[in-house]
Amino acid sequence: MHGLVNRAIQRFVVDSYGAPQWAAVARRADLGFVDFEAMWTYDDAVTPRVLTAVSDILDRPYDELMEDIGNYLVSHPNLEALRRLLRFGGVNFIDFLHSLDDLPDRARLAVSDLVLPRLELREHGPHQYSLACEGEIPGCGHLFTGVLRAMADDYGALVFLEHMGAQDGVETVSIALLETDFTEGRGFELGAQAS
């Protein structure tokens, strides 16, 4: 698994619960080191082990944890660069939803060996969508529930999200878009690069 993914989990724990908790996770997962390198490749088995360790140490249900991580990735100020990259997907939330199919390809454009879960948006009716997520790590549907919730907030849209379970390794998230301009949302200027 790409170091960026492992590093993101580490940053989530450190930023939300503090460095000592992460050190405990690293010990529990038997990493043999404390810090993940973002630009490095780790054995695929490491990531599920780390996620289980985080769930144990923080005493949080696994699915809930995945959703928190997804939410953190978009909304935490330390990861502003990532939020901006996601906002490049579309000018409004609907546009953004339709850009999700391209997300793994977009990620690969930036970092050629970064493999993200396969995503497919389906449109079921006006303002009713579902997102199919197929990834190597169980719970990626919950992760994207968190991402979508935070992105809806970012765009100022009001949505109702529900994880519909998994079938044949594909997790489905149902998305009901109640209002596109519910709040102002957070701004996004093309020319204001996050440092």
Partner 1 sequence: MSSSAQCHNVLNVMCPMHLILDRDGLILFAGPTAQKLLPDQSMIGRRFLELFDIKRPREISTPEALRETAGIKLHLQFRRPPHRDLKAVLMEGPETGQMIINLSFGISVVDAVQDYKLTAADFAPTDLTIEMLYLVEAKSAAMEASRQLNRRLQGARVAAEEQALSDTLTGLRNRRGMDRMLADLIANGEDFALMHMDLDYFKAVNDTMGHAAGDYVLQQVARIMLNEVRSHDTVARVGGDEFVLLLRSVDRPKVIDQIATRIIARVSEPILFEGQICNVSSSAGTTLSRHYEVVTADQLLGDADVALYESKSRGRRQHTFFSEDLRDQSGGAKTPLPRAQAPQI
Rounded-to-integer distance, Cα 103 and Cα 15, Å: 25
**Are residues 13 and 56 in contact, defined by beta-carbon separation less than 8 angstroms?**
no
Secondary structure tally for the chain: helices H, strands E: 8, 4
Tokens standing for residue 179 = 């209002």
Local structure of 76: helix, strand or coil: coil
104 alpha-carbon distance from chain centroid: 12
Is the Cβ of residue 184 or residue 189 nearer to partner 1 in the bound state?
189
Contact mark string toward partner 1, 78..117, x via CB under 8 A: ---xx-xx--x--x--------------x--xxx------
Three-state DSSP state, 114 = coil
Alpha helices in the chain (DSSP H): 3-17, 19-28, 46-58, 62-75, 80-87, 93-99, 103-110, 140-155
For partner 1, the closer CB: 112 or 167: 112
Question: What gap in Å lies between CA 2 and CA 36, rounded to an integer?
Answer: 10
**What is the number of residues in the chain?**
195
Stretch that binds partner 1, among 65-73, 131-139, 164-172, 183-191 (CB under 8 A): 183-191
Nearest distance, CB of residue 188 and partner 1, angstroms: 9
- Give the number of residues in contact with partner 1, rule: CB under 8 A: 21
Stretch that binds partner 1, among 32-40, 143-151, 158-166, 170-178 (CB under 8 A): 32-40
| CB-nearer residue toward partner 1: 88 or 160 | 88
- Of 18, 27, 37, 183, the one binding partner 1 (CB under 8 A) is 37
Minimum separation from the CB atom of position 23 to partner 1 (A): 18
Binding site for partner 1 (CB under 8 A): 4, 37-40, 81-82, 84-85, 88, 91, 106, 109-111, 189-194
